[in-house]
Amino acid sequence: MSIRVQNITKRFGAFVALDDVTLDFPTGELVGLLGPSGCGKTTLLRIIAGLESADGGQVLLDGEDASDAHVRERQVGFVFQHYALFRHMTVFDNVAFGLRVRPRQQRPGEPAIRARVHELLDLVQLSALANRYPTQLSGGQRQRIALARALAVEPRVLLLDEPFGALDAKVRKELRRWLRQLHDALHITSLFVTHDQEEALEVSDQVVVMNRGRVEQVGTPYEVYEQPASPFVYGFLGAVNLFHGRVQDHHLHVGEGSLPLGHNGFQPGAEALGFVRPHELDIETNPAGNAGIAARVERVLAFGPTARVELTGAERESGRFYEVELSRERVAALNLANGQRVRLKPARIRLFAPEPRPAGRTPLPAGSLIGVDGEGI
Amino acid sequence: MNTSAARRVLPGFPLALGYTLVYLSLIVLVPLSAVFLKSATQGWESFWAAISTPRVVASYQLTYGVSLLAAAINAVFGLIFAWVLVRYTFPGKRIVDALVDLPFALPTAVAGIALTAIYAGNGWLGQWLQPLGIKVAFTPLGILVALIFIGLPFVVRTVQPVLEDLSTELEEAAASLGADRWQTFYRVVLPPVLPALLTGFALAFARAVGEYGSVIFIAGNVPMVSEITPLLIITKLEQFDYPGATAIAAVMLVTSFILLFLINGLQAWANRSHGGG
């Protein structure tokens, strides 16, 4: 079933959680709603589910206005971050709940319920645990049960609110892959909320990047990662190095250094922000000259498939921090020493105009320069 | 014993248990056994005579009947009360929350006199109820009102923390699975709350059975109609009929113990089948 939200607005007191959001979720796709905490993604999900009502705008399910429909009538499966399993019921009874509360005429007989529940428990590979109570299960198992419970009522849409948020890293990765496989098998329109960009990029067909109650970009994982539409998206999806300077003579002048630019639409003399991913930077060991940016090696992390080099500004200026990702062979050839002065040269640079927003707002979430533990995206 | 004590991680078990038993004996068991000993000083026939006169039997029925009814009413409305306090925010919530405890703190005689004044035929509420043919003061209905008054905080205060622990997500999950409000209540909310609700019920009931101060003012104390057992005991004491008083007290003790034991059993069952796992 397709979902359309149209001009959705939601306020909590003075805080604007959603600011005129319009989105289309096509049938059968798995869409990731990605953004930092407080960006409104969970609120949007809850409005689609009917657990929260919007101050303005409409929710269209299959083209029909469902804005006034109760969550009961919307036939949406909702999976909560903290599972929300019924503790006093066994796994079996939890999964059977949605079938047993149906009105008598629509309620399947007990044998049919039994068969359906076992079918679902097989699907989530937990049929052996049917008689356990939720407290006897691990977090990953609980979330799979919660998913089976949501699927039991044959929902038209599946909504998952940070489904893996409460799990540890290893289980998260497993469940992520498993959710993707499950979706490929069931093809039910699914939306899931996450603040983990890796999770969103790995699992989704489409990613919706949100920030401060607005949609920043909608696209495939490839599009949002390779062609970020805004500085925010660039910074949120993976590590990035930021160069603030002025455009002149096909170069971005940053302090005394300069970075060559290709064709760009910037007026000469205009201020610009240059974004470069760690793997798009190279290190030049000759510190002389003014091509590239002067920097000083702080740490070399030569483990994993690629090596990472952390650098500061040449004079250890505060607030300057760079990260470069190189092949291990390249790092070995450079033979870098801690404290060594080098120059950074980007292979590719993406320019954005500085945002005319108040100074209090940082365009990038904290830690975005540090990246994602070298797991690679 | 020694070897198992040596392996115990938590220290001080013998001391703690010994202390608990001595304390229980001094504070609870010794006075209670004095009741039985005193009542045993008379012969079986006079004991039986003391506890089985129609007036005494009528008082048992009244005391236990009205106490159970009051506790049951408190269980229902106390749950709603606690629900409102936990789930909603409204102006004056803190004041309402504090008022719940008032029946705990108020001298019961004050409560009794206040209720009598309000529900008497010329009282604030009584003057409106009287024309409708409803007499509250000086009837068993008055006793019920007094027992509901003193029992309410027991239910509210035992249920409240459990409701606070109950995530609203559970109700949202139930609703998203198609459950209506009533199904959500009795399938999702009530089972985890039930053990606490039973505890509150038992406490309110126990308190109501033993209540004296607030009841005697509003009850009218008509023999066979609105005379509670504790009043009968006091009456006998005032007539220096100590064996008779202790005999009735012994019956009350045993009955109350059996009832509380049953409620405890019910609660254990509720814990196992609903809150367990």
Nearest C-alpha of chain B: how many angstroms from A156? 12
Q: Is the pLDDT assigned to residue B146 strictly greater than 90?
A: yes
Using a CB-CB cut-off of 8 Å, the residues of chain A touching B175 are: 51, 70-72
pLDDT value of position B81: 94
Mean pLDDT lowest among A275-289, B5-19, B133-147, B158-172: B5-19
The 10s digit of each residue's pLDDT in A98-131 is: 999 999 898 999 999 999 999 999 988 899 999 9
Task: Tell me the three state secondary structure of residue B249.
Answer: helix
Any idea what the Cα angle at residue B94 is, between residues B89 and B96, rounded to 5°?
A: 95
Mean pLDDT of B247-270: 89
**Residues 6+ away with beta carbon under 8 Å from A288:** none
- Alpha-carbon torsion, ordered B255, B256, B260, B265, to 10 deg: -10
Mean pLDDT of A245-265: 82
Mean pLDDT of B239-257: 91
Per-residue HEC secondary structure of A320-377 comes to CEEEEEECHHHHHHHCCCCCCEEEEEECCCEEECCCCCCCCCCCCCCCCCCCCCCCCC
Q: In terms of Cα–Cα distance, which of B192, B188, B201 is closest to B162?
A: B192
The pTM assigned to this predicted structure is 0.80
The 10s digit of each residue's pLDDT in A192-203 is: 999 988 899 999
User: How many angstroms separate the CA atoms of B82 and B164, rounded?
Assistant: 9
Nearest C-alpha of chain B: how many angstroms from A226? 37
- What ipTM does this complex have? 0.80
The 10s digit of each residue's pLDDT in B203-228 is: 999 999 999 989 999 988 888 888 99
Using a CB-CB cut-off of 8 Å, the residues of chain A touching B188 are: 86
Provide the 8-state DSSP code for A297: E
Q: What percent of chain A has pLDDT over 70?
A: 94
> How many H helices and E strands in chain B?
16, 0
Candidates B167, B168, B177: best to mutate against A (most CBs of A within 10 A) is: B177
The answer to whether residues B194 and B271 touch, using CB atoms and an 8 Å cutoff, is no
CB contact under 8 A, A135 and B277: yes
* H or E, element range at B246: helix B242-270
Residues 289-318 on A with a CB inside 8 Å of B are: none
Of the partner residues A49, A86, A134, the one whose CB lies closest to the CB of residue B176 = A49
Using a CB-CB cut-off of 8 Å, the residues of chain B touching A70 are: 175
Q: What is the mean pLDDT of chain A?
A: 86
Q: Is the pLDDT assigned to residue A49 strictly greater than 60?
A: yes
Candidates B166, B168, B176, B186: best to mutate against A (most CBs of A within 10 A) is: B176
CA B131 vs CA A287, B121, B138, B140, B145: distances in Å: 103, 9, 16, 18, 19
Q: Is the pLDDT assigned to residue A33 strictly greater than 60?
A: yes
CB pairs below 8 Å between A and B: how many? 75
Q: What is the mean pLDDT of chain B?
A: 89
Q: Is the pLDDT assigned to residue B129 strictly greater than 70?
A: yes
Using a CB-CB cut-off of 8 Å, the residues of chain A touching B182 are: none
Q: Is the pLDDT assigned to residue B5 strictly greater than 70?
A: no
Mean pLDDT of A192-221: 92
Confidence band, pLDDT 50/70/90 cuts, at residue B148: very high
The 10s digit of each residue's pLDDT in A65-82 is: 988 889 988 889 999 999
The 10s digit of each residue's pLDDT in B184-201 is: 999 999 999 999 999 999
Mean pLDDT of B53-66: 94
CB contact under 8 A, B188 and A77: no
Confidence band, pLDDT 50/70/90 cuts, at residue A253: confident
The 10s digit of each residue's pLDDT in A319-376 is: 778 899 998 888 888 888 888 888 888 888 888 888 765 443 344 433 334 333 323 3
pLDDT value of position B4: 53
CB contact under 8 A, B173 and A80: yes
User: How many angstroms separate the CA atoms of A102 and B53, rounded?
Assistant: 56
Of the partner residues A76, A133, A134, the one whose CB lies closest to the CB of residue B176 = A76
The answer to whether residues B83 and B94 touch, using CB atoms and an 8 Å cutoff, is no
Interface residue B89 vs chain A (CB under 8 A): no
